[in-house]
Amino acid sequence: MITVLRFWAQVRALPVAQATAVAQAASRSEAAGGGGTGTLAIATRADTTTITDVEQSGGFHPADHAPVFLMLGVILTGLGGAMSVTHPLTANPPVNILFGEPCLWLGVLLLGAGLHLSRSQHLSAGAIKAASPVVFGVGLILAFCAAAIARFELIGAAPVEEPITGLLHAYPVVENTFFVLLYALSAAGALAFPWLLSRAGDLAWTIMKWSWSIAGLGFLIFSALNFYTHIGMMVNLTRPDAAFRF
């Protein structure tokens, strides 16, 4: 989420002109042979707007994000796919659905975005519009996941053997509420995505920026922390007679 936000923030920072100004910029670029350090050529077609860095010398170029999208897409698709088709992976099967299948959706979307940017070398408004219904659908999935977590208390508390988070073992509402908020915020950003290129684009961007920034930071910290807490839990489980290490 944070990677996508950084990408779109840089896109929005580009000096995109409106109708007549775009035509003038394109004409000047053609007349100059595409010259000028750091010049942006902005060309319009019937159904798309493409932004291309002519010189590709410094500054932002959409295709630069393709490797990052592809790497993250491979990880999310691989792990999300494994969790989706291997059922159940834990003693709490609904959690596999909550974690695995949204990850698979998001991973495939990132793979598609990475492939588009690597092949076309520019950002296409047509591609964004084409992907919008899928992103909106993922937003609905995340919203109903948040509702399921809240209604059925699916996450619960971490085992007492788990360091740090296990200290809240007697308070399952804390971790459950944490995930409700993460999924709800993630859903809000995805549901706002289709309106990025509309007249409500500024409002959609504000919703995406804040919801995905908070949710992305939350997922990042929690996921990184799991490398410590899950390793610690495995160690504690092998030492049932010893004092737990937190």
Residue 99 belongs to domain spanning: 61-121
- The tens digit of pLDDT for each residue in 61-115 reads 888 899 999 999 999 999 999 988 887 777 778 888 899 999 999 999 999 999 9
pTM: 0.81
124, pLDDT greater than 90: no
- The tens digit of pLDDT for each residue in 161-182 reads 899 999 999 999 999 999 999 9
Looking at the structure, tell me whether residues 235 and 158 fall in a common domain.
yes
Looking at the structure, tell me whether residues 73 and 51 fall in a common domain.
no
Mean pLDDT of all residues in 218-226 = 95
Contacts of 155 (CB under 8 A, 6+ apart): 95, 149, 172, 175, 176, 178, 179
What's the gap between Cα 236 and its chain centre?
A: 34
- The tens digit of pLDDT for each residue in 20-48 reads 333 333 334 444 444 433 333 333 333 44
Pairwise CA distance, residues 198 & 194, whole Å: 8
Looking at the structure, tell me whether residues 30 and 88 fall in a common domain.
no
Looking at the structure, tell me whether residues 141 and 32 fall in a common domain.
no
Q: How much of the chain exceeds pLDDT 90, in percent?
A: 57
Pairwise CA distance, residues 79 & 41, whole Å: 39
Which of 207, 200, 203 has its CA nearest to residue 186? 207
Pairwise CA distance, residues 37 & 51, whole Å: 16
Residue 15: per-residue pLDDT: 61
Looking at the structure, tell me whether residues 214 and 142 fall in a common domain.
yes
Kindly report the backbone phi and psi dihedral angles of residue 53, in degrees, each rounded to the nearest multiple of 5, phi listed first. -80, 110
Residue 237: per-residue pLDDT: 87
Looking at the structure, tell me whether residues 175 and 188 fall in a common domain.
yes
Looking at the structure, tell me whether residues 147 and 223 fall in a common domain.
yes
Looking at the structure, tell me whether residues 183 and 71 fall in a common domain.
no
Chosen domain end from 60, 82, 106: 60
Residue 190: per-residue pLDDT: 97
Residue 45: per-residue pLDDT: 38
- Going from the C-alpha of 120 to that of each of 23, 59, 61, 62, 137, the distances in angstroms are 21, 18, 12, 10, 25
Chosen domain end from 69, 94, 121: 121
Looking at the structure, tell me whether residues 95 and 82 fall in a common domain.
yes
Looking at the structure, tell me whether residues 117 and 146 fall in a common domain.
no
Mean pLDDT of the chain: 82
Pairwise CA distance, residues 54 & 61, whole Å: 9
18, pLDDT greater than 60: no
Please answer whether residues 187 and 106 qualify as being in contact, where contact means their C-beta atoms are separated by less than 8 angstroms: no
Looking at the structure, tell me whether residues 18 and 36 fall in a common domain.
yes
Chosen domain end from 121, 149, 173: 121
Looking at the structure, tell me whether residues 132 and 114 fall in a common domain.
no
Place of tokens 């923030």: 9
Q: What is the count of structural domains for the chain? A: 3
